[in-house]
A and B are shown apart, each in its own frame.
Chain A
Amino acid sequence: MLFSSIPFLYYFLPIVILLYFVVPFKYKNFILMFVSLFFYFWGESTYVLLMIGVTLCGYIFGLLIDKYRDNKKLSKTFMLISLLSSFSILAVFKYADFFIENVNAIFNSNLKLLKLALPIGISFYTFQIASYTIDLYWENIKVQKSFIKFMTYVSMFPQLIAGPIVRYSDIEKEIDERTIRREDVAHGIRRFTLGLSKKILLANVLGEFVDIAKTSNEMSVLYMWLYVIAYALHIYFDFSGYSDMAIGLGKAFGFAFPENFNYPYISKSITEFWRRWHLTLSTWFRDYIYIPLGGNRVSKIKWYRNILVVWAFTGLWHGASWNFVIWGLMFAAILVLEKLFLGKLLEKMPQIIRRIYTLVIIAISWVVFDATSFADITNRLAVMFGFGGVPLVTAETLYYLKSYLIIFIIGIIGATPLPSMLAKKLSDKESLHKLVNVAEVIALPLLVVVSTAYLVDGSFNPFLYFRF
């Protein structure tokens, strides 16, 4: 069930709100766990038991790590078994066929593919459980002795299937004791509504164009650039919109989930981009892989190795396919170059050059990310940079440009902090503050109604990060 769907908005959500806010506090976690399992069951009825099983393993090993804390060796063994078990399951479901395909290709063998369906959100909940296990071993957090509370943490529906990757430390206090304040509920509604609108009114519309571009025979240089820009905006509004909805729902239910995006397309380098894009994933890799490997406080060779490992994993996390590995390694190479000399060189350049450099690399990266073959990557890049033997522009390209121009403009402006800065500036003026409040009370419900209209009429509503 997607947040941006009628069953969620107008059936699931009212029932959940009613149950959650009516029951006394001591039952709230149970209600949240129960509805979250139902939410997961709705989309993944077969694998709900798998998720419960993986969570149970994480919970039991957590108890054992805590119980044998004084015996460092035993405690470490439990931590490793816990990680090994949960990551093995992830590996089997997500990477087994990729591995078999490559073995078959290299050794000309004919091993049978497992063809297992990928359980929704498995990458997200595996990483959450792993963060709990490691943090517990490192004594950054206290053990959770209640299975219901632990299950609630892992399965909590706002962040279950698409993040942000919430660490146990993020909600450790709130899982035991939380207050639900009026301003938090209102803030949650505001955040959820903006996320919903980003997803439905921008991401889905841009996604329609991306689909048209990929399936049509139309080809021109401008058309390819429109496709790349549309894809870049689509994936940003899709994912950040979903994160906004998750954070908003969390806030309304009394939890403060971590931020996941911070206007990544205004970055002036790729290093900065990764400090603004999918923050909970990049910080997860930083804290649990890069730093334990030694980070940059090691020899240069080891430092290169650390970067390579982290970015190969980052690529593979997004999907079991070589294009994702290339995508990850491409960023590894650029980050190394930026750290070696490019970063300093860029700092001497005008801001506009730095932004263009970053955006062009991001554009290329999305071509790699969205490709289904190497030929796709080379063909699209060739067309983008004028080597595809296609016209610069065609009548059909101009038609699509005209048709989607307003959406592109809104999307580009919306991907910068300008709208929120403007809203803040107006709101900060005492004379306008009340007026801004009135505008907000009118605009937000209007956005819900218009988004609903799109949902009622439309069928295009996939979610990109659903199966990562």
Chain B
Amino acid sequence: MSDKIKDYSLIIIFAIIIFGTFLMNIVVEDSAVSKSERKALQQFPEISAKTIKDKSFMTKFETYTSDQFVGRDAYRKLKAFVVFNIFRHSDNNDIYIADGHASKYVGKTNENAVNTVIKGYNHVYDTLLKNNDNVYFSIIPDKNYFIAEENGYPSINYEELVKEFNKNLNSEIKYIDLFDSLSIDDYYTTDIHWRQEKINDVVKKLAEEMNFDTGNINYTENVLEGFYGVYYGQSALPLDSEDLIYYTAEEFDGVTVKVLDETVSAQGVAKFDKADMYNLQKYTGADPYDVYLHGPKQLIVIENKNASSNRELVIFRDSFTSSLAPLLVESYAKITLIDLRYIANTFITKEMVDFNKNQDVLILNSIDVLNSGSIKFFDENNMLIK
């Protein structure tokens, strides 16, 4: 190729890329959501003197051009390919692949976050749970526990972490070790969560330690195909989809699920809306895992008039419990699920949860939540506990 042809070729190819992409971006219709990334995409921002003056138009336009870029998914996959295969980077957007699983890299314990959680739950114990005789605490290991070290990824010192909780949490709170009840196969390959159909050992372990009867239910497996978890979109790698399985049973007929109305809960109003155990509409939404108990909610009460006992259970929880709770409805007449990421401990009124000494209380959080500092605790003066 002569220099002249090279110059012309470069100019033409560059023009095709720049002008072609410009035209395509204008012509191709904008999308509302990105399913692979589980996010709503920025729409063309409002132009006004105000939005230009405060620069919000410019900021949103930049997000808009990236979100609505023609072939966005393909470009993201190309970037992931280059990151992993050319630059041999160990992760892409902090997601790494090992043993067929996508997992989020967490190099070490976030000591500040862990200390805050310990202080926070001790405060919750002192203010809400002091009268309860049966308060339990357990940790759900993340996938890194099973795959990080052997694949050369630094991870949390899990032994130290558990020691830290046992040492510093109120001694009345009994620890239940779930680490041995799980394996990497009990988790979705593309998601952070465990699989509902794989956590029988967890239920058994809880039953042993908390002394409840697991009953003898014949669950029906319901399969939702084509499940992609949260790490699929973040890693942008061509990972295979899985089946999402949710259990139903005849015994669920007597179950009622009530979800706290979040629009009035901040005013201390305990208004509940009836809901189903599973919300299949969520399967096509941003996070298909929200099928289980509707996803992130402040407070949910599950009652089963046909339960094998009249015992009550309160769980301070995160999203993992959404798939666990349905497996406990046979054992407890009433289960209250509280997610302190979405409702402050000081906002919980007696009308919402009537704490009493006969209840079992389980504090059950995943490592991801404990280590991220995403739960905020407040003291009597509504000041953030640090």
Contact = CB atoms under 8 A, between A and B. Distances in A.
Interface of A: 1, 5-7, 9-11, 13-15, 17-18, 42-43, 45-46, 182-183, 185-186, 189-190, 193, 205, 216-218, 395-396, 399, 402-407, 410, 434, 437-438, 440-441, 444-445, 448-450, 452-458
B6 interface: yes
19 contacts: A17-B18, A42-B58, A189-B10, A218-B107, A402-B152, A406-B87, A406-B88, A407-B87, A434-B1, A438-B1, A441-B1, A444-B13, A445-B14, A445-B17, A449-B78, A456-B75, A456-B76, A457-B80, A457-B236
B22 A10 contact: yes
Interface residues of B, number: 50
B52 interface: yes
Interface string B56-78: 00100110011001001001101
The 9 A-B pairs at the shortest CB distance, nearest first, are namely A186-B7, A403-B90, A453-B79, A437-B6, A437-B1, A456-B75, A453-B75, A14-B22, A453-B78
B13 A403 contact: no
Contact of A457 (B4, B76, B86, B88): B76
A356 B250 CA distance: 76
Query: Chain A's interface: helix, strand, loop or mixed, by majority?
Result: helix
Interface in B12-70: 13-15, 17-19, 21-22, 25, 52-53, 55, 58, 61-62, 65-66, 69
A399 B153 contact: yes
A183 to B, nearest CB: 6
Contacts of B224: none
Contact of A405 (B4, B75, B88): B88
B380 interface: no
A392 B6 CA distance: 51
A231 B82 CA distance: 22
Main secondary structure of the interface of B (DSSP, over half): helix
B3 A453 contact: no
Given A183-B7, A218-B107, A448 B14 contact: yes
B22 A457 contact: no
Contact of B2 (A18, A395, A437, A448): A437
Query: Which one of A6, A13, A457 has the greatest number of beta carbons of chain B within 10 Å?
Result: A457
Interface of B: 1-11, 13-15, 17-19, 21-22, 25, 52-53, 55, 58, 61-62, 65-66, 69, 72, 75-76, 78-80, 82, 86-91, 93, 107-108, 111, 152-154, 236
Contacts of A218: 107-108
A452 B154 contact: no
Given A7-B62, A399-B154, A457-B79, A189 B14 contact: yes
